[in-house]
């Protein structure tokens, strides 16, 4: 019995030599690794943090963390720039975090006069070793993270802008969750020792001045103390 043998057509090969030569005429014959020309030079593989899959890394060990991105050289030559903030909190400085319902005292070193019938508070450097009647001794502790069973850390993104509306209108900033989903607000609460992303987005490739601040840990709250739960970073 005769069987016809079908032939498979070979894939069409397109000659792109002319296109490559034209690109070399416009942008040069070799790759340009300068960060301010990666977009125009079609060499985004050399850009730093050009995609959310391969972002720039910022490790945060101390709270509160205040990161200011301010320059006049623009958006790194790419339309998008992503930074991955990885929280690995070890300590806190310069801020007293008081638990809900409590307020940290303000201690002044100058010898101010007492108001009314109150005497000045005297702070001793020695540790308190006794209690007066049924009162426990005061515990003076350094800056430290509060002990909360279900703790969340605040993330705030603020585009401070440059004051030039013709420049600022070209730049957008966004917070992204660890699932790379856009967060709906510039305020987010997340678990410590986690990570999130911040994206800088320009609507063209020209070099733009920018003035953006990312503040982490200005608030440390428990889950129940967060009034609007929509601000909590969600997982898919």
pLDDT digits (tens, 9 = 90+) for 132-150: 667 776 666 666 677 777 8
Q: What is the pLDDT of residue 114?
A: 54
pLDDT category, 178, cuts 50, 70, 90?
A: very high
pLDDT category, 10, cuts 50, 70, 90?
A: low
Instruction: Please state the φ and ψ torsions of residue 45, each to the nearest 5 degrees.
Output: -65, -15
Where in the chain is CATH 2.60.120?
49-94+145-231
Instruction: Report whether pLDDT(196) > 60.
Output: yes
Question: In 119-209, at which residue ranges do the beta strands (DSSP E only) sit?
Answer: 151-159, 171-176, 187-190, 195-202
d(CA 91, CA 96): 12
Dihedral class, residue 193 (left if φ above 0, else alpha if ψ from -120 to 50, else beta): left
pLDDT category, 105, cuts 50, 70, 90?
A: low
Q: What is the pLDDT of residue 182?
A: 96
Judged on CB neighbours under 10 Å (0-12, 13-18, 19+), 188 is buried
**Any idea which fold 49-94+145-231 has?**
Jelly Rolls (2.60.120)
Average pLDDT over residues 102-109: 62
Nearest to 84 by CA among 187, 196, 190: 196
CB 218 within 8 A of CB 99: no
Q: What is the pLDDT of residue 119?
A: 67
In DSSP terms, 158 is beta-bridged to 213
């Amino acid at each position: 019995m005769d069987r016809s043998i079908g032939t498979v057509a070979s894939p069409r090969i397109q000659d792109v030599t002319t296109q490559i030569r034209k690109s070399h005429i416009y942008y040069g014959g070799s790759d340009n690794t300068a960060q301010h020309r990666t977009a125009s030079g079609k060499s985004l593989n050399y850009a730093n943090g050009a995609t959310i899959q391969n972002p720039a890394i910022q490790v945060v060990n101390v709270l509160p963390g205040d990161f200011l991105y301010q320059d006049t050289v623009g958006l790194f030559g790419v339309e998008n720039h992503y930074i991955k903030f990885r929280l690995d909190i070890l300590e806190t400085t310069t801020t007293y975090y008081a638990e809900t319902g409590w307020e940290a005292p303000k201690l002044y070193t100058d010898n101010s006069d007492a108001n009314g019938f109150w005497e000045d508070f005297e702070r001793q450097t020695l540790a308190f070793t006794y209690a007066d009647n049924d009162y426990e001794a005061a515990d003076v502790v350094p800056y430290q993270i509060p002990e909360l069973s279900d703790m969340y850390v605040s993330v705030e993104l603020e585009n401070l802008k440059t004051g030039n509306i013709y420049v600022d209108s070209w730049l957008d900033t966004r917070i992204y969750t660890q699932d790379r989903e856009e967060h709906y607000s510039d305020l987010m609460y997340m678990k410590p020792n986690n990570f999130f992303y911040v994206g800088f987005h320009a609507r063209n490739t020209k070099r733009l001045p920018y003035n953006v601040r990312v503040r982490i840990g200005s608030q440390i709250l428990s889950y129940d103390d967060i009034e609007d739960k929509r601000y909590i970073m969600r997982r898919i």
